[in-house]
Chains A and B, each alone.
Chain A
């Protein structure tokens, strides 16, 4: 039999009972392995001395009080999926598009009853300048969360269902090359109220060195209530999960994410939605293409615009499970996805996969 590996000898130093069977018999009769063991054990002892640390006496009860009284982290307007790396282009773009979608909700409010409840979906081309301009909207008022988004990594499928109240998506057949290792993430329903402020808007515009279009009457103090989720996602790939919630640099990019979420709902007060839409589309930096695309939406109260950054992404209308969907592609060919709404639920498949695979997964989702 071959000699024991260094790793096996190292384990014998710490856990001699783990050396069993043929390995144990070999070791007992092999002077060479025994000599190597002495070297390994000597090194281990020296390292143990090197790694000595000062005594630590902890007061668990006091420490728990400090942790319990720590303020909750302030969530942003929108949320980050912990497994995403901002530096990776395809999902970073998808994330930017998601944020922009929330911003664009305000453009799609119905003029009649001021309720936006999408039933279908359409791509809207946006430029990076559009995204920057839309992102400034957050400075035009105050966001308060009545229920904060609480995205969690679930221990298993059942826990994901328990958190979200939604049945996690079940992929019938994985594309070639996608790992069957799956992690579930889930989020209960969250609700934010955005209150427009004339003073804040003026201050934000002044800071950006731009003049603000005249506010529609009644817009100061108008409230926009946006409900997102609940949502659940199956994340495929051998993830190296972040070691802490805030350190995303250690997360591997998932190969594929399949998500479903109750369609977002938005309601507004005080201001005509038509006025709101017109106002936002006159903001400095909004491209004529985006204005045209928004104006072309047939029924804004029931259509979810999916912003597609035209510098990087392409979008095509596709049929998914018998309804209209939007297939997203990246010009780099690195990532793709498809998004659709069916029965009041928004579904999405995105990943480092071919667009045809994404559509195939979507069509066979149960």
Chain B
């Protein structure tokens, strides 16, 4: 008879509790729900291979891993090329629904993701984690900084993102 190890049960509970949030963090970076789920599943597989589901740092690890893994994808050359093709396809598809507005949304999303990809990992991660609904305490745990530092990091990261988006805007 197959036996279920306690850690397997703990992993399932962790997965059930955190999967949507982990996928949400990746989606915040990639703006692509399908690819975000790919990233989220890879993150959980990596976690399960190396860590105990009962570890105190499990949630913080997953949140940070989701942000970094998605940002790494965003930075990949192959990813960028594919993204451009997908974005064009999305624009073409969406034109039949609400052409002008959808084109603008797609363009904004593309510029913001390109800007995120140019940012240093930590500021990019703090933006993404906070925008995904993590509390300041949770962001601090994920990034290994004190809760009191999160506001400062976030404010600086927002200023950097605005500059980066401005850089990517055609004049």
Contacts and interface: CB of A to CB of B under 8 A. Distances in A.
A73 interface: yes
A243 interface: yes
Contact of A152 (B51, B61, B149): B51
Interface residues of A, number: 50
Interface of B: 12, 15-16, 19-20, 23-24, 27-28, 31-33, 36-37, 40-52, 54-57, 61, 64-65, 67-69, 72, 108-109, 112, 121, 127-128, 130-131, 135-136, 144, 148-155, 158-159, 161-162, 165
Contact of A7 (B33, B67, B154): B154
Given A18-B136, A43-B162, A67-B41, A247 B72 contact: yes
A244 B42 CA distance: 9
A107 to B, nearest CB: 32
B90 to A, nearest CB: 9
B162 A56 contact: no
A244 B55 CA distance: 15
Interface stretch (A44-52, A108-116, A264-272, A343-351): A44-52
A143 interface: no
A99 interface: no
A244 B15 contact: no
A56 B51 CA distance: 27
A290 interface: no
Contacts of A47: 127, 131, 158, 161-162
22 contacts: A6-B155, A10-B158, A40-B155, A44-B158, A50-B161, A53-B28, A53-B31, A54-B27, A56-B24, A56-B27, A56-B33, A57-B33, A58-B19, A58-B20, A63-B37, A64-B16, A64-B19, A70-B45, A152-B51, A156-B56, A244-B65, A247-B72
A276 B9 CA distance: 46
B151 A7 contact: yes
A232 interface: no
A53 B42 contact: no
Interface of A: 5-11, 14-15, 18, 40, 43-44, 46-48, 50-58, 60, 63-64, 66-67, 70, 72-73, 82, 151-156, 159, 163, 240-241, 243-247, 250
Contact of B15 (A11, A43, A67, A240): A67
A153 B51 contact: yes
Contacts of B72: 247
A44 B159 CA distance: 9
Contacts, number: 141
A46 B162 contact: yes
A273 to B, nearest CB: 35
A63 B41 contact: yes
Given A56-B27, A63-B19, A155 B52 contact: yes
Contacts of B108: 50
Contacts of B162: 43, 46-47
B23 A58 contact: yes
A71 to B, nearest CB: 9
B61 A241 contact: yes
Most interface-central of B19, B49, B131, B159 (chain A CB within 10 A): B49
B41 to A, nearest CB: 5
Contacts of B16: 60, 64
A309 B72 CA distance: 35
A51 B131 contact: yes
A153 B41 contact: no
Contact of B151 (A8, A64, A151, A153): A8
Nearest to A4: B151
A277 to B, nearest CB: 36
A7 B152 contact: yes
